[in-house]
Amino acid sequence: MALKILKSCINCDMCEPECPNKAISLGDKIYEIDPDLCTECVGFYDKPTCISVCPIDCIITDPERIEDKESLYQKFEQLVQDDKI
């Protein structure tokens, strides 16, 4: 599952530096998560760090990008292999 930042984001800049996959960036109006880079921190941490630092709880599991832990780990391995993280 990739994560998604809701429109209620206040651009506090807390999540971007916490993302080990560099999946979070500032979009046109709010921060956005690239679903192709998001592994929900699988391969790095037990829980997504962006969720833990978000002061307004506006980061959720993207219902359009459902992936199990095995798929997320495979994505992590591919990103490492491709030197994207």
For the structural domain made of 3-81, what CATH number should be given? Answer: 3.30.70.20
* Band of pLDDT at residue 51, cut at 50, 70 and 90: very high
pLDDT at position 13, please?
Answer: 96
What's the pTM value of the predicted model, to 2 decimals? 0.92
Specify the higher pLDDT residue, 85 or 46. 46
Which amino acid would we find at residue 37? L
Residue 26 pairs in a beta bridge with 31
Spatial CA neighbour of 47 closest among 16, 18, 14, 9: 18
Residue 85's pLDDT is what? 82
Residue 46 neighbours by CB under 8 Å, 6+ apart:
none
Q: Quick check: helix, strand or coil at residue 5?
A: strand
User: Any idea where the domains of the chain sit in the sequence?
Assistant: 3-81
